[in-house]
Amino acid sequence: MSERDVHRIEADHDLCERLFAELLHFSRDEPGVTRAAYGEGEERAHGLMRDAGLALGMKAEVDAAGNLFLTMAGRQPELPSWMIGSHVDTVPHGGNFDGAAGVIGGLAAVAGLRRAGIVPPRPVVVAVFRAEESVWFPASYVGSKAALGLLPPDVLDLPRADSGRSLRSHMVELGLRPDAVERGETLLRPERIHGFVEMHIEQGPILEAAGIPVGFVTAISGSFRHRKAVCLGRYGHSGAVARGERSDAVFAMADLITGLDALWAELDAEGQPATITVGEFSTDPIVHAFAKIPGEVRFCLDVRSTEPDVLERIEQALAALVSRIEAARGVRFELGERTGSTPARMSAALVTSLRDHAGRLGIACRTMASGAGHDTAVLAGQGVPSTMVFIRNQNGSHNPHEAMRIEDLCAAATVVAHLVAEA
């Protein structure tokens, strides 16, 4: 391929704008958008992406779990494929770009190759995974795990947060094959994937603050989570029970949170990557009252790090902190089920190659870690050389105000198109 041919490759800006507009039209749910996993919004989004891929001359395949794979033929079809992709489900009342940018960016890259008249050496697959957002089913990476035969069978019986119906039931409703998922049937084989790249809006402020359009991800955080934890104390009269006789669940929770924050500050001072979040915190609205000592607090805990030893250190510190507070405050903690994911290292070779392409194209970039989990972690965990390309985003993610400049996505997609065109 000549230097002139390569520099003709540009991702399709108009296709990006059109697909985002159509997504917004049918999934608007004020404030924001909602595309529930294995629900109407996600299903319509898969249909939209399938039609866009077919219009580009791509072959469409759907696996037993409903994951969609759109393939652009390469000059040597026997070679392992490049794969580009993400998900299209959202959190409730979220934004229009989280996840969808990676799918639409992949299609825009393929459109750019087509327009330049370039057929890459390898097949290029745009993957549209199901159910990445664990807000719907309390499990991480449902779609991509199913795509690789890794989904634990008991996940199929987990209820969806809004409907209360099982994942299995929702799959059957959409004409999918949960029994085949349970048996581990797949279309994907890790050894047939040459490399995986997921474009995604950055979910923090780093790129926007630096004025840089794209970032290449070196690692993805793992986590441990307690989604339904409770601190149990004893209700009492707010004016009649002395401090030493109380079992106050709110004060106990305050001790827990300040203790975890102190630990986080210690890790931060050491340069150890971590985040600790108590995303829900509530007393019982039926029982609590102005003049009552609170006897119960329900909460959730989300701890993340790119380093397994940091996660272990926090978990051990959490156990010790809980024991001390229980003894001091006369309360009992029930943390409930523990879920989580394993940190994932990205392919250094892929990151280097993407940076080189960006440099030749004059696109400013940087490397960075991902504090959030992504489907890429599942593929990396199966030995697939993988990385992510972050696109700057002005207003964070998982909120109605997600923002992304289409030209920044096209810059990322153009870099990815150059990657797959030459290797």
* Secondary structure (DSSP) of 63-77: -TT--EEEEE--S-T
| Mean pLDDT of the chain, nearest integer | 96
Q: What is the DSSP letter of 298?
A: E
Cis ω before 294 (30° cut-off from 0): no
Helix (H) or strand (E) holding 119: none
Distance from C-alpha of 49 to C-alpha of 61, rounded to nearest angstrom: 12
Amino acid 282: pLDDT: 98
Residues 276 and 379 in one domain: no
Question: What is the tens place of the pLDDT at every residue in 197-239?
Answer: 999 999 989 999 999 999 999 999 999 999 999 999 999 999 9
Residues 333 and 348 in one domain: no
Residues 202 and 259 in one domain: no
Q: What are phi and psi of 77, to 5 degrees?
A: -65, -20
Amino acid 130: pLDDT: 98
Place of tokens 């719907």: 136
For residue 77, what are the domain limits?
3-220+344-422
- Pull the structure tokens for residue 133: 């957002």
Average pLDDT by stretches of 10, the chain with 423 residues: 64 98 97 97 98 98 98 97 98 96 98 97 98 93 97 97 98 98 97 98 94 97 95 98 97 98 98 96 96 98 96 98 98 95 94 97 96 92 97 92 95 98 89
Residues 14 and 153 in one domain: yes
Q: How many domains does the chain have?
A: 2
Q: What is the CATH number of the domain that holds 17?
A: 3.40.630.10
Of the residues 306, 341, 376, which one is the last residue of a structural domain? 341
Q: Three-state DSSP class for 366?
A: strand
Residues 105 and 248 in one domain: no
Task: Give Cα separations from 360 to 211, 365, 421 (angstroms).
Answer: 19, 12, 14
What pTM, to 2 d.p., does this model score?
Answer: 0.87
Residues 398 and 370 in one domain: yes
Amino acid 394: pLDDT: 87
Of the residues 298, 322, 341, which one is the last residue of a structural domain? 341
Q: What is the CATH number of the domain that holds 274?
A: 3.30.70.360
Of the residues 288, 322, 341, which one is the last residue of a structural domain? 341
Q: What is the DSSP letter of 175?
A: T
Residue 231: name the closest of 281, 183, 276, 193 by CA: 281
Question: What is the tens place of the pLDDT at every residue in 29-55?
Answer: 999 999 999 999 999 999 999 999 999
Backbone conformation region of residue 149, classed left if phi is above 0, alpha if psi is from -120 to 50, else beta: left
Residues 326 and 352 in one domain: no
